[in-house]
């Protein structure tokens, strides 16, 4: 009979940056609360500043986690039962993770090996992965507010190229304006957010 380790992972849906994570060998509301408390400290999140959206898993809905969120001034939000696209960002992120060429085909040897692999993935995703949904900048660049100047320079390069070789262009250059508004559910427009830190997701990986 196999065993599991559980990935607690929190992502800012505005920047797509993974702002906190940990791998444990149990599902626990208390452990989820510890990760969230650490995130609020590191990210300087103030009371009543963010909404934490998650699935309906027990670690996210447990009394200890909800108590922690109340103490931190973080509003909880949950996907509707049996509605998979209420959290499309988590689905996209975990698909990216599981389709990585180095994703283990065999079980992790230990909890430590699972944490090491996830750590490498998070570093790549935040700092190297140029995300198509945020105009091909990295999540860290967008999270730190560097994307505005980067995209401004990129737009200037494209305009210069069109001016130099207009015959290569049949219309306007690509739109490099930064994404200003992010919806939790783009299809249903359930939640609009201008906040900079937003969403939590949780999954498990084989061990």
Flag whether pLDDT at 62 surpasses 70.
yes
- Reported as a pLDDT band with limits 50, 70 and 90, residue 55 is confident
Flag whether pLDDT at 193 surpasses 70.
no
pLDDT, greater one: 187 or 141: 141
% of the chain at pLDDT higher than 90? 70
Q: Does some domain include residue 166?
A: no
pTM for the model stands at 0.85
pLDDT of res. 202: 41
Q: Does some domain include residue 161?
A: no
Flag whether pLDDT at 118 surpasses 90.
yes
Q: Does some domain include residue 142?
A: no
Q: CA 87, CA 100: separation in Å to the nearest integer?
A: 21
In this structure, are residues 9 and 21 in contact, taking their beta carbons and an 8 Å threshold?
A: yes
CB atoms under 10 Å from CB of 31, counted, come to 19
Q: Does some domain include residue 137?
A: no
Return the sign of the alpha-carbon dihedral for residues 54, 34, 70, 61. positive
pLDDT of res. 200: 40
| Helices first, then strands: H and E counts in the chain | 7, 7
Q: Does some domain include residue 57?
A: yes
Stated as kind and residue range, the H or E segment containing 182 is: strand 182-183
As a whole number, mean pLDDT of residues 61-80 equals 93
pLDDT of res. 14: 94
As a whole number, mean pLDDT of residues 109-129 equals 96
Q: What is the mean pLDDT of the chain?
A: 87
Flag whether pLDDT at 125 surpasses 80.
yes
pLDDT of res. 138: 98
pLDDT, greater one: 191 or 94: 94
- Reported as a pLDDT band with limits 50, 70 and 90, residue 1 is low
Domain of residue 202, residue span: 4-129+186-206
Nearest to 50 by CA among 72, 83, 71, 19: 72
pLDDT of res. 74: 96
Q: Does some domain include residue 36?
A: yes
pLDDT of res. 87: 81
Burial of residue 64 (CB within 10 Å: 0-12, 13-18, 19+) is: middle
Q: Residue 17 in 3-state DSSP? A: coil
pLDDT tens track for 7-41: 999 999 999 999 999 999 999 999 999 999 999 99
Burial of residue 142 (CB within 10 Å: 0-12, 13-18, 19+) is: buried
Q: Residue 38 in 3-state DSSP? A: helix
Q: Does some domain include residue 115?
A: yes
Query: Number of folded domains in the chain?
Result: 1
pLDDT, greater one: 159 or 81: 159
As a whole number, mean pLDDT of residues 133-141 equals 97
- What CATH number does the domain containing 14 carry? 3.30.420.10
Angle at 171 between CA 165 and CA 174, to 5 degrees: 90
Burial of residue 45 (CB within 10 Å: 0-12, 13-18, 19+) is: buried
Q: CA 62, CA 59: separation in Å to the nearest integer?
A: 5
């Amino acid at each position: 009979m196999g065993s599991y380790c559980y990935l607690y992972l929190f992502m800012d849906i505005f920047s797509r940056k993974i702002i906190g994570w940990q791998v444990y060998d149990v599902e626990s509301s208390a452990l989820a609360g510890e990760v969230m408390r650490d995130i609020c400290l590191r990210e300087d999140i103030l009371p009543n500043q963010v909404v934490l959206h998650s699935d309906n898993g027990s670690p996210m809905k447990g009394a200890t986690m909800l108590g922690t969120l109340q103490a931190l001034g973080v509003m909880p939000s949950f996907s509707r039962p049996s509605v998979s696209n209420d959290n499309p960002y988590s689905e996209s992120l975990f698909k990216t993770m599981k389709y990585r060429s180095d994703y283990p085909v065999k079980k992790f040897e230990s909890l430590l090996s699972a944490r090491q692999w996830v750590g490498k993935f998070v570093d790549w995703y935040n700092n190297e992965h140029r995300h198509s949904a945020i105009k091909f900048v990295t999540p860290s660049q967008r999270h730190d507010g560097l994307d505005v100047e980067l995209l401004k320079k990129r737009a200037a390069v494209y305009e210069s190229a069109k001016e130099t070789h207009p015959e290569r262009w049949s219309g306007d250059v690509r739109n490099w304006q930064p994404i200003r508004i992010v919806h939790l559910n783009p299809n249903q427009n359930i939640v609009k957010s201008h906040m900079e830190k937003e969403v939590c997701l949780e999954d498990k990986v084989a061990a």
